[in-house]
Structure 1
Amino acid sequence: MDNKRISDFIRGYAAEEDELLQRIRSECESAGVPLIRPETAMFLRTVTALVRPHLVLELGTAAGYSAICMAGSFEGIERIDTLEDWEPRYAIAEANIKEAGLTDRISLIKGDASETMKSLTGPYDMVFIDAAKGQYPDYLKEAMRLTAAGSVIIADNILMDGEIIESRYLVERRDRTIHKRIREFLDDITGDDRLVTSLIPVGDGITFSVRER
């Protein structure tokens, strides 16, 4: 099975994005800025429309693309708190969110996600994790504190472009710590009896969890 051909096929059915989102994607791809894949964006929009969250937490703003996608998928979102710790990306996201006319609904917070989460209160209806992969287990602990029954937690890039299925000794040395931490995260999120979780091979892989209690 040719995964690239399948991805291209799925992307062919994605709704056409507005001019701003197209520009953000083009600029991010040119500059090497991390961005959710088109099929992941499709899934995120669908989940947002289904869950109809009022309060959303996003870890890893990057250029603001995914926050803008979520805000556009359900007008009932009262606020998206999105965390970004790298100044250049923060500035880009700030400009993009302003251009989208969403400064009243998207709250851009500068700071390390692990530390900043500790100052938040919630409860959030939906949490989207897409920040430093080595911190995923820590993010999950805080996400559980910041959510309640009925909340949804989504985490991106859990397949590491396929490397997650390999032994850590077959992974590039620089990626071994991330490999270990993502495996730890997967054990934690699937083993938590407060959550019902699925691993879904869309984009670079996501976990989709619904909190039962």
Structure 2
Amino acid sequence: MHNEMMHRPVVKPAVLDFLRQGTTQLTGALGELEQQAHEKGVPVIPHETVTFMQTLFNLKKPQTVLEVGTAIGFSASLFATCMGATGRVTSIDRYPLMLEHAKENIAHLGLEGQIKLLAGDAADILPTLTPSYDLIFMDSAKAKYLDFLDDCLRLLAADGVLLIDDVLQGGTVFADAATIPHRNKAIYRKLNQLLTRVFNDSTLVATLLPLGDGVLMITKK
């Protein structure tokens, strides 16, 4: 579960320290879950992404969210909490162990009525879903992001927001291909193809945010 890129920030250490320690912290059971995840090295979204999500949800006020990559259920729980009792989150994950942890955490937070977990491969599940979602968050296998993109755009509401997490690989996504270790070459290639596709698509508006290991934010024109 360890994610080495969590320790390879793309912003200066002093800025990162403020983003993670100096901004408003989560409280209660959700704050405890975030702290425990960081202490155990569980790959959840970093705190700078948490505060961005809180601001975005406050502005957009989404009521339906689709998440690809549940992990321990932290981000799904954050989304549900931001939306309030009427908001609904659908989250997909292929790993039974992760889903078990997510179920326990979601139950502990009392959010079972707001979060629906779907077990299986997103490649199989996404085509079966029907539009539309106000916000979609992809945080799964990076080499699969491009494969999931068309379905996510199909499922996204006309005024919705698609967020794709961890697209910078510690900044190495823009390095010379010859310097990339063999084990990371497929991810490197696929992430570059994703960025090329998104930023050259005349039907989309996109920006790259230096939060955590990079968040790609996409809306439809």
Q: TM-score range by the shorter chain?
A: over 0.9
**Structure 1 residues 72 and 38, CA, compared in 2 at 3 Å: closer, same or farther?**
same
Superposition deviation, residue 80 in structure 1: 0.5
Partner of 1:25: 34
Q: 1:77 to 1:156 in 2, by over 3 A?
A: farther
The alpha-carbon distance between structure 1 residues 92 and 56, as it changes in their structure 2 partners (threshold 3 A), is same
Q: Deviations over 1:40-92 (max 9, x none)?
A: 11111211221111111011111111111111112265311011111111000
In structure 1, the residue corresponding to 2:91 is in which secondary structure?
strand
Deviates more, 1:19-28 or 1:110-119: 19-28
Q: Displacement, 1:168? A: 2.0
3-state SS, counterpart of residue 15 of structure 2: helix
Q: For residues 47-196 of structure 1, what are the structure 2 equivalents within 5 Å? A: 47-75=56-84, 77-196=86-205
- Using the alignment, how far apart are the partners of 2:165 and 2:74 within structure 1? 14
The structure-2 alpha-carbon separation of the partners of 1:209 and 1:32, relative to structure 1 and needing over 3 Å to count, comes to same
Tell me the matched-pair count: 212
| Cα distance between partner residues in 2 of 1:115 and 1:144 | 16
CA contact (8 A) 1:154 1:208 kept: yes
Tell me how far 1:208 sits from its aligned partner: 1.1
Amino acid at match of 1:83: I
Aligned Cα root-mean-square deviation (Å): 1.7
For residue 124 of structure 1, what is the amino acid of its counterpart? Y
Distance 1:118 1:3, change over 3 A: same
Are the counterparts in 1 of residues 11 and 210 from structure 2 also a CA contact under 8 Å?
no
CA–CA separation in structure 2 for the residues paired with 1:211 and 1:54: 18
Unmatched runs of 5 consecutive residues or more in structure 2: 1-9
Structure 1 unaligned regions, length at least 5: none
Task: Give every structure 1 segment of 4 or more consecutive aligned residues whose post-TM-superposition deviation is greater than 6 Å.
Answer: none
For 1:64, give the aligned amino acid.
G
Q: Secondary structure at the match of 1:198?
A: strand
Paired letter, 1:182: L
TM-score (norm: length of structure 2): 0.90
Matches of 1:192 and 1:116 in 2, distance apart? 25
Cα distance change, pair 132–199 in 1 and its aligned pair in 2 (3 A):
same
The question of whether the paired residues in 2 share the 8 Å contact of 1:158 and 1:205 is answered with: yes
Q: Distance in 1 between matches of 2:27 and 2:100?
A: 21
Cα distance change of structure 1 residues 73 and 2 upon mapping to structure 2, 3 Å threshold = closer
Q: Could you say what secondary structure the match of 1:94 adopts?
A: helix
Contact 1:151 1:211 in 2 (8 A): yes
Aligned to 1:16: 25
The code of the aligned residue for 2:119 comes to: K
Deviates more, 1:128-137 or 1:191-200: 191-200
Q: What is the SS of the residue equivalent to 1:48? A: helix
Give the SS at the match of 1:12: helix
Instruction: Give the fraction of aligned pairs with identical amino acids, expressed as a percent.
Output: 31
